[in-house]
Amino acid sequence: MKKIAVLLAIFIIVFVTSCPTQPPIKDWTIMVWLDADNNLDQNGLIDFNEMEYGLYRAQVGDPSVTNKLSVVVQFDRSGSNNTARYLIQPDARNANLDTTIVSTRLDFPPIPEANMGDAHQLKDFIDYCKSKFPAHNYMLEFWNHGAGVRSIAPRTGNSNVKSVCIDETSNDWLYTGEISDVLTSAESVNVIGYDACLMSMLEIGYQYRPGVTGKFSADYMVASPPQEWGDGWEYYKIFERFKGSGTDAEGDLCYDVSSLTGEQLASLIVKEHKDALVGHYSSDPVTAQALTAFDLSKTENVKSALDALSTKLQNKKSEVISNIQMNGSTTRAMAYFNFYNADQWKDDPSFDLYDFAQRISLDTTDFDLDTRTDASNLMTAIESCIVTSWGDTGAYTGFTPGKNGLAFFFPGDGQYLGVPYFYYEWWYTSFDTAAWWHAYNPSETDIYYGKLDFCTPGTVTGTVENWWELLKAWYDPTNAHTPGSW
C-alpha cells in the first residue's frame, strides 16, 4: 500500500509539473503593430519608449496595473533582421531624454524579418497575443503611414501601394480588403486604433463592423481623418490615465483598467491627442490635426442613410459638385486633403461626411424637401455613430466635436493628365480587382484588392441604390473604365 501511495504521489507531481501553465486572463491586452521599417524609424523608437514611460506613470498610481494590462508590441525597425516582439515594461525614464529599451523581449529564438504589410503575419501576431496574453478585452493598433481606404496605384506605376503599414524592406503594404480576407472573427477586437494618416473613413469602419458572421470586426475605432503629425499619439499621457483614480495634468479622469470600457479607451485617446496639440494648431488643412472615435456598430445606419440620400442625387451631379463640393475658396466643403493639389484629388479625395450632409440639408435652392430630409437623417446617424471627435477649427472651419471627423470618399469631376479622376480610382469597389487589372496588364502578377464591403452593388441593375452606384452613374455610366456594374 505504501508503495502504491508513493507511486501515486510521484505521478501526481509529475503530471502537475508537466502540464503547461495557463497564462492569467487579464482585463486588457493592447496589441501594437509598430511598423517603423521606413522613414519613421526614430519616431517608432520614441513612441515605444513613451509606452514604457506611460506604463510607469500608471504604475505609480496603481501598482497592480501590470496585473490587469498587457501591452504587446511587434516592432519592425528600418533595415533587415530588425523585428522583435516585446511585452512593454514600466520605465521611469522620459522617452524624450532616453530611448533605451527595457521591455521584455518575447521572441526566442528571434523571429525572422517580418513583413508588416502581410495580413497573414498580422494574423499570426494577433493569435500569438491572444494565446500568450489572454484578456477580456483587446485593442489592435496599427502604427505607421496611412493612406485611407484607397490603393493609390494608378493603372501604371507603383503597383504595391496599399492603404496602411508600409514595410520598405519587404516592399509591401496592407489593403483594407486584404485584412478582411485573412483575419477572421477569431482575431476580432474591442477597439481598432490607427496611429496613421487619413484612416478615419466610413468605408474602413464599415469594413470591420461587428455582427458579420465569421469576419474580423471591432466595436470601436480611433483614427485621424487628415494627415497626422510625425509625433503621432501621446502614449505616455494615454497610459497614465490607467492609474486607477484621480485625474491627469489636464484634469481628465483616470481609469482602473479592470473596469475600463472600449468606449472609454477610444475616447481618452482622442482627448490626449487634443491635449498634446495645444500650441501646435494650424490654419492649414494640410498640416492641421483631428482625431475621431466612432462606434462601428452604428456604421450600418450611416451607410443606409448615405445610400438613401444617394438615390435622390443621380440627376443632381452639377449641383452637388458645384454648390456643395467646390463652392468657392472660403465656403467649400470640409476637405481632409490638399484641395489645390491634383495628385491628392486623384489619390486622397476625402471629405467630411457630416459637413457634406449639412450643406445639402440647408440648400433650399438646389434640393427638394425629401432630399434635404434624407440629408438631415444622415446627419443624425453620424452623430449617433461618433463617440467623440476633435479637430483644429483654425483649419476646419465649423468643426463640431461629435459631428465632424468622419470622412468619406468623394472624388472630383476633374482630370489628371487628361484622364478623369475616377478612372484612376478603380480600386473603389467590392470586386476582386486582380482579374480586371490583369486584363489591362496580362504580364503583371501583382495582387490588387478592392473587396470593399461598402461598395457592394444594389440588386436592381441600372438604378442608383447606394453611394458607390451614384459615383458609377456620374463618372463611369457605361462601366467601361472601372470594375463592376451598377
Q: How far apart are the first and last CA of the chain?
A: 83
- CB-based contact 276:234 (threshold 8 Å): yes
H-helix segments, 257-341 = 262-276, 299-310, 317-319, 328-331
How many other CB atoms are found less than 10 A from the CB of residue 318? Answer: 11
317, 406: one domain:
yes
Last residue of a domain, one of 371, 392, 415: 415
12 part of a folded domain: no
293 part of a folded domain: no
Burial of 7: CB neighbours in 10 Å, binned 0-12, 13-18, 19+: exposed
Cell numbers describing residue 6: 508513493
Name the 3-class secondary structure at 289.
coil
* Annotated catalytic residue within 129, 165, 197, 385: 197
Of the pLDDT bands very low, low, confident and very high (cuts 50, 70, 90), residue 98 is: confident
Pick the closest to residue 446 from 160, 148, 82 (CA basis).
Answer: 160
121 part of a folded domain: yes
pLDDT at 447 over 90: no
- CB-based contact 305:374 (threshold 8 Å): yes
C-alpha dihedral (469, 472, 478, 482), degrees to nearest 10:
-120
pLDDT by residue (tens digit) across 241-271? 999 999 998 999 999 999 999 999 999 999 9
274, 341: one domain:
no
242, 274: one domain:
yes
223, 362: one domain:
no
Known catalytic residue at 254:
no
Average pLDDT over residues 119-126: 97
223, 136: one domain:
yes
Place of cell 521606413: 38
pLDDT at 4 over 60: no
122, 220: one domain:
yes
Of the pLDDT bands very low, low, confident and very high (cuts 50, 70, 90), residue 448 is: low
317, 435: one domain:
no
pLDDT at site 365: 95
d(CA 255, CA 245): 6
Pick the closest to residue 190 from 381, 389, 73, 28 (CA basis).
Answer: 28
202, 152: one domain:
yes
Name the 3-class secondary structure at 353.
helix
More confident residue, 80 or 28: 28
- CB-based contact 172:122 (threshold 8 Å): no
Cell numbers describing residue 244: 486607477
pLDDT at site 12: 45
CATH number at residue 116: 3.40.50.11970
Average pLDDT over residues 128-150: 93
pLDDT at site 5: 53
Q: Which domain holds residue 63?
A: 26-280
Cell numbers describing residue 468: 458607390
Residue 451 DSSP label = -
d(CA 112, CA 121): 11
CB neighbours of 63 closer than 8 A, spacing ≥ 6? none
pLDDT at 153 over 70: no
9 part of a folded domain: no
Pairing of the two strands 415-416 and 419-420: antiparallel
pLDDT at site 155: 38
183 part of a folded domain: yes
pLDDT by residue (tens digit) across 199-249? 999 999 999 999 999 999 999 999 999 999 888 999 999 999 999 999 998
Average pLDDT over residues 279-306: 92
Q: Read out DSSP for 130-197?
A: HHHS-EEEEEEEEES-B-TT-----SSS-TT--SEEEETTTTEEE-HHHHHHH-BGGG--SEEEEEST
272, 164: one domain:
yes
Of the pLDDT bands very low, low, confident and very high (cuts 50, 70, 90), residue 433 is: confident
pLDDT at site 158: 42
pLDDT at site 3: 55
How many other CB atoms are found less than 10 A from the CB of residue 58? Answer: 26
364, 389: one domain:
yes
Pick the closest to residue 224 from 47, 392, 29, 449 (CA basis).
Answer: 392
Q: Is the peptide bond before 411 cis (omega within 30 degrees of 0)?
A: no
pLDDT at 393 over 70: yes
From residue 340, alpha-carbon distances to 132, 285, 337 in Å are 49, 11, 9
286 part of a folded domain: no
User: Residue 345 belongs to what H/E stretch?
Assistant: helix 342-347
pLDDT by residue (tens digit) across 80-91? 889 999 999 999
Cell numbers describing residue 210: 461587428
Name the 3-class secondary structure at 357.
helix
243 part of a folded domain: yes
Pick the closest to residue 474 from 249, 328, 316 (CA basis).
Answer: 316
User: Residue 294 belongs to what H/E stretch?
Assistant: strand 290-295
Among 8-12, 34-38, 55-59, 355-359, which stretch is predicted with the lowest mean pLDDT? 8-12
Average pLDDT over residues 374-394: 97
C-alpha dihedral (236, 239, 245, 251), degrees to nearest 10:
50
CB neighbours of 239 closer than 8 A, spacing ≥ 6? 51, 54, 55, 57, 58, 71
Last residue of a domain, one of 415, 446, 469: 415
Percent of the chain, pLDDT > 90?
Answer: 71
pLDDT at site 446: 59
| Amino acid of residue 130 | K
pLDDT at 333 over 80: yes
Q: How many domains does the chain have?
A: 3
The angle that helices 369-385 and 299-310 make with each other, rounded to 10 degrees, is: 160
Average pLDDT over residues 403-427: 93
How many other CB atoms are found less than 10 A from the CB of residue 344? Answer: 17
How many other CB atoms are found less than 10 A from the CB of residue 417? Answer: 8
128 part of a folded domain: yes
Last residue of a domain, one of 280, 315, 331: 280
d(CA 69, CA 242): 9
Among 18-27, 283-292, 343-352, which stretch is predicted with the lowest mean pLDDT? 18-27
The mean predicted confidence, pLDDT, of the chain is 90
125, 238: one domain:
yes
E strands along 37-134, which residues?
69-77, 83-87, 104-105
Cell numbers describing residue 330: 472660403
188, 158: one domain:
yes
pLDDT at 190 over 90: yes
